[in-house]
Structure 1
Amino acid sequence: MITIERNESLFQNMVSHTDKDDSTVGVTIFMGEKILTGELISERRYFELVNEYLHDSTENLAFDCQLALNSSNSCDSQYFHLKNAIYIDSNGRSMPAEGCLLRGRVSGVQAVSIGSWLLPKGQ
């Protein structure tokens, strides 16, 4: 596992690269006492998945992800996007299980480990 500490520009480059080529990479993100782990995905894929989840729940909540993407059309996104995101608190407890989508601010990241953490079953 490679750890990038307090180098926002390097993490920003990872986010921008993911947004450009729609690649994914496992990451573990440290934000203060919070730890987030999951797959770094593109902003486009994030909004597509949000749209799918909302559409599956109720058609009234579904929206056109293109509208959200058009409003944030910059090359350097201020946000990172995780698929299958898991939040780990300071006591080592994790939530939720699988399938969680998360959007967070790049500026709030203090360190990043390349590679997502696997938690024991039942956690």
Structure 2
Amino acid sequence: LAAGDRIPFDALRDEPFIALPPEAGPAREFWLATDERQGDPVKLSNLLASRPEEFCLAVANGYGVCLTPESAHRFYPYPGVAYRPVDGIAPSLVSVVWRPDESEQIVNDFVDSCAELRQ
């Protein structure tokens, strides 16, 4: 799988997925790409992970694969782990949250920049 520049999601369907714990709810379902499976069950690894380091360790030790944000390769380089873009799944959405009475100009500038980029 890691030999290609990109991976079609269909190539991952039969791979064991390292998952968040069930109590993660919708986040778990998103990162398992359950919507893209059209009712097909997810093959789960027998290992759960909650932190990025745990996912990396599990992948490096052959317990399965996982989907990550595109930025993960910059923040979590790990020996034995290859990051590749996956085609055929919906992109993740990011939200910005701030206090409505925020007085720091840098925060307001950041929020304004996010709003401009969204359009």
Q: Which category describes the TM-score, using the shorter chain as reference length?
A: under 0.3
Structure (1 or 2) with the larger CA radius of gyration: 2
Q: Which has the higher contact order (CA 8 A, sep 6+)?
A: 1
More strand by share: 1
More helix by share: 2
Query: Structure 1 length as normaliser, TM-score?
Result: 0.22
